[in-house]
Amino acid sequence: MAEPQPQPQPQQSELQLLNGDELTEEKEDADAPESAKRRRRKKKKCKTCAPAGTNDAEGDAESVADVAKQLERTLQTLEEKEREEDGEEDADEGENSSGKKKKRKKKKKGLKGQTDPPSVPIYELYPSGEFPKGEECEYPPSKDGRSAAWRTTSEEKQALDRANEEMWSDFRQAAEAHRQVRAYVRSWIKPGMTMIDICEKLEDCSRKLINENGLGAGLAFPTGCSINHCAAHYTPNAGDPTVLRYDDVCKIDFGTHINGRIIDCAFTVTFNPKYDRLLEAVRDATNTGIKCAGIDVRLCDIGETIQEVMESYEVEIDGKTYQVKPVRNLNGHSIGPYRIHSGKTVPIVKGGEATRMEEGEVYAIETFGSTGRGAVYDDMECSHYMKNFNVGHVPIRLPRAKHLLNVINENFSTLAFCRRWLDRLGESKYLMALKNLCDLGIIDPYPPLCDIKGSYTAQYEHTILLRPTCKEVVSRGDDY
């Protein structure tokens, strides 16, 4: 860096000439009273502010204008910064009933909108903790014709409902995550994608929206993406080359949970309109099952009604007509904390158990329609596994099996998991250990369930809450 060049100093006589006026003023200041001194000082300041060739008044005006402009620029900058940070939302300015102007409304700090693709956790979108409710329905009337409308106004039932509000809130948060994820999946799923890519993209989005946190929040079970004659429990293992095709009927079945409160919800994806009637039949059957469900309703009555509706449909595919058959050995089920199948089954054909639904229970109402035999059997390579909920202490000899069980307990507990999820946790060479745990009855395998080859199956499913006051189809969305 260059050294600055010294400037020539002014002569003594020049300094005296330049400062002559100032010296005179200083002498006058010494003799004048205090008020006069202050006035002279102000005048002197204005002279120094004013540019050459202007009088005092002009200098004052210009300096005030400059300050005003600078202040205006500062205010504009602050407003822009405030909009960026707080997401300011301007309300229309007008006079209210009292004649006062409405104040500008601002979004609360921290309130966010969802991104595209979705990445903002649901709890951040609803910082108040009040999540969107599902579809609230009145319970069906009893067989003797008595209405259940009294439940909605009963103070006792309302108090019971409020007592469980924390549990209902967990379900609603998980359901909102499910709705947003499935809307996102519908926007990009297309023929030519591998099933692994579809599942991993869906699960990555689910983990973000549910804000995965160990066993406190996360995925409730592996993403099912069963195709055509395969009705359920298929998710690709590592290296599976299966690709989604234009003529496929793909069932997307995935779950989310908050504190073990599970949302189990599924829909069917097709690209060829020739399957529309099949999807309509199964969707109608599921909605019929939801409509019939309620406190004190017998499970066998729901199954009979579902079968009646589904079998009323016929579909024509490639010039051949099929009656849609309910898959008789697949059922809906009750849901418990960290337990996807908690004991009761909801049949989709007549002749099931006469067990009744009870207040406070949670159910997955799901139906499967098929153009095949209407029955499924185990087939293909297994991918789904789940720890036996009722298993006690079982001695394990293999060290690798002990290690694998610890990994399962820490990450999944009694929730279902798949081999891809073990790979994701860094586990390797675990197949022998997994088989050992299955042989001991600690882990149960759930292989894919298939109808006859060449047939097509479809599925729709919703989770319902049997609240004291009403029935809430908590996973209901605009899509189905």
Per-residue tens of pLDDT for the chain, all 480 residues: 444 444 444 444 443 434 444 444 444 444 455 555 556 555 554 444 444 444 444 445 556 667 667 777 776 776 666 665 554 444 444 444 444 444 454 444 444 799 999 999 999 999 999 999 999 999 999 888 889 999 999 999 999 999 999 999 999 999 999 999 999 999 999 999 999 999 999 999 999 999 999 999 999 999 999 999 999 999 999 999 999 999 999 999 999 999 999 999 999 999 999 999 999 999 999 999 999 999 999 999 999 999 999 999 999 999 999 999 999 999 999 999 999 999 999 999 999 899 999 999 999 999 999 999 999 999 999 999 999 999 989 999 999 999 999 999 999 999 999 999 999 999 999 999 999 999 999 999 999 999 999 999 999 999 999 999 999 999 999 999
Q: How many Å apart are CA 457 and CA 232, to the nearest integer?
A: 9
Same domain, 198 and 284: yes
Same domain, 442 and 462: no
Question: Going along 66-158, which residue ranges are E strands?
Answer: 135-137
Instruction: Give the residue numbers marked as catalytic.
Output: 253, 264, 333, 341, 366, 461
Question: Residue 461: left (phi > 0), alpha (psi -120 to 50), or beta?
Answer: beta
- Tell me whether residue 384 is annotated as binding: no
Q: How many Å apart are CA 132 and CA 381, to the nearest integer?
A: 39
Chain mean position to CA 408: 25
Q: How many Å apart are CA 379 and CA 445, to the nearest integer?
A: 12
- Assess if residue 189 is contained within a domain: yes
- Is the CB of residue 270 less than 8 Å from the CB of residue 276? yes
- Is the CB of residue 264 less than 8 Å from the CB of residue 335? yes
State the residue range of the domain holding 221. Answer: 166-378+454-479
Same domain, 475 and 394: no
Q: How many Å apart are CA 458 and CA 369, to the nearest integer?
A: 5
- Assess if residue 71 is contained within a domain: no
pLDDT at 352: 87
Q: Choose among 76, 122, 289: nearest CA to 217.
A: 122
Count each helix (H run) and each strand (E run) in the chain, helices first. Answer: 14, 18
End-to-end CA distance of the chain: 73
- Tell me whether residue 366 is annotated as binding: yes
Same domain, 214 and 286: yes
- Tell me whether residue 253 is annotated as binding: yes
Chain mean position to CA 480: 17
The tally of domains found in the chain comes to 2
pLDDT at 40: 59
Positive or negative: CA dihedral 134, 235, 269, 319: negative
Q: In 3-state terms, what secondary structure has residue 108?
A: coil
Same domain, 183 and 285: yes
- Tell me whether residue 280 is annotated as binding: no
- Tell me whether residue 22 is annotated as binding: no
- Assess if residue 336 is contained within a domain: yes
Same domain, 441 and 465: no
- Assess if residue 429 is contained within a domain: yes
Specify the CATH number for the domain of residue 404.
1.10.10.10
- Assess if residue 181 is contained within a domain: yes
What are 204-207's contacts with CB under 8 Å, separation 24+? Answer: 205/117, 205/118, 205/119, 205/181, 206/177, 206/178, 206/181, 206/254, 206/256
Q: How many Å apart are CA 382 and CA 375, to the nearest integer?
A: 19
Same domain, 313 and 196: yes
Q: What predicted TM-score, i.e. pTM, was given to this entire model? A: 0.78
pLDDT at 194: 98
Q: What is the 3-state secondary structure (H, E, C) of 208-257?
A: HHHCCCCCCEEEEEEEEEEECCEEECCCCCCCCCCECCCCCEEEEEEEEE
Same domain, 179 and 307: yes
- Assess if residue 210 is contained within a domain: yes
Distances (CA, A) of 289 to 58, 103, 267, 284, 467: 86, 50, 15, 9, 17
- Is the CB of residue 367 less than 8 Å from the CB of residue 286? yes
- Assess if residue 44 is contained within a domain: no
Same domain, 199 and 330: yes
Show the DSSP H helices in 312-380 as ranges: none
Same domain, 425 and 458: no
- Tell me whether residue 155 is annotated as binding: no
- Tell me whether residue 31 is annotated as binding: no
Specify the CATH number for the domain of residue 360.
3.90.230.10
Same domain, 286 and 370: yes
Same domain, 245 and 327: yes
Query: Phi first, then psi: what are they for 142, rounded to 5°?
Result: -70, 170
- Assess if residue 273 is contained within a domain: yes
Q: Choose among 210, 205, 208: nearest CA to 256.
A: 210
